[in-house]
Structure 1
Amino acid sequence: MAGVKALVALSFSGAIGLTFLMLGCALEDYGVYWPLFVLLFHAISPLPYFIAKRVSYDSDAASSACLELAYFFTTGIVVSAFGFPVILARVAVIKWGACGLVLAGNAVIFLTIQGFFLIFGRGDDFSWEQW
């Protein structure tokens, strides 16, 4: 039952993050939908970790070069997701208020993704791998 509560909490926080992102795009003062390209960063951010876990599955090692490279690429994707709205605001494509809402949405969504991996990535009885 604890896994179901965690899944509901993670989905609620993901919905809050997406709400911030949509508010940054759709409010009447802003009305520009360029920040929605951040969703691409949200979609591809877990991919390097998934690939590294699939390629170098070693249960006794705490770390491997492949896994460290995946962390590096994931960090680059996350930093790019935070930098993209700042660059859009800097060149006056979007307003700074929209940039703030998108950055808040990014923080909530990436914390939700991290929470998912912390809760369901342990490999114990209840894990995301069984779905």
Structure 2
Amino acid sequence: MRHSSLLPQKINSPVAAVALLAFAGVIGLTLLVLGCALPMFGNWSPMFVIIFYVCSPLPLLIARHFQEDMSGTNACIELALFLTTGIVVSAFALPTVLAHAGTIKPMASILTNTGSVVMFLDILAYFYLHREDDSGSWSQSLF
């Protein structure tokens, strides 16, 4: 008798991986828009978090461009990780500070930060899927 598991299996298809990344991105952006557009909130200030979504992968992409081997530690990689960490923390801090200052409602801050969690996990999954399994470097994509 075969045992069928309800647990998700490993994603082997590159098309399925891209579809899941796109779906996660849509979920994250939907949460962000809900934190801005619902009539009870009525303030579009949390939308500035999109700038952090765009800027967060840039330091690592620049470090990958100038560094052939991303497996070791050196100043270029450490600086890129430091800058990326600062950008991610700022993305969570902006809605929190806006809520503390009374510019937005606390529930809007919670929705925006939930959307940020989804978006940054999506960006992390993108970098995980596009690393090279053999040497540990990020010089070539999965596809």
TM-score by length of 1: 0.90
Q: 4+ residue stretches of structure 1 with deviation over 4 A? A: none
Aligned twin of 2:130: 120
Q: Does 1:71 align with 2:43?
A: no
Work out the CA distance in 2 between the residues paired with 1:30 and 1:70. 35
Work out the CA distance in 1 between the residues paired with 2:141 and 2:82. 25
Aligned twin of 2:120: 110
Work out the CA distance in 1 between the residues paired with 2:132 and 2:99. 39
Give SS of 1:94's match.
coil
1:8-27 correspondence runs (5 A): 8-27=19-38
Structure with more relative contact order (C-alpha pairs < 8 Å, separation 6 or more): 1
Amino acid of the residue matched to residue 38 of structure 1?
A: V
Work out the CA distance in 1 between the residues paired with 2:108 and 2:44. 10
1:1-131 correspondence runs (5 A): 2-58=13-69, 61-122=71-132, 127=141
Amino acid of the residue matched to residue 121 of structure 1?
A: R
TM-score by length of 2: 0.83
Gaps of 5+ in 2: 1-11, 135-139
Count matched residues. 127
Amino acid of the residue matched to residue 15 of structure 2?
A: V
Report how far residue 63 of structure 1 moved.
2.3
Report how far residue 123 of structure 1 moved.
6.3
Deviations 1:70-115 (A, max 9, x none): 0000000000000000000000000001000000000000000000
Amino acid of the residue matched to residue 127 of structure 1?
A: S
Gaps of 5+ in 1: none
Larger Rg: 2
Work out the CA distance in 2 between the residues paired with 1:127 and 1:54. 13
Work out the CA distance in 2 between the residues paired with 1:11 and 1:74. 22
| Root-mean-square deviation over aligned CA pairs | 1.7
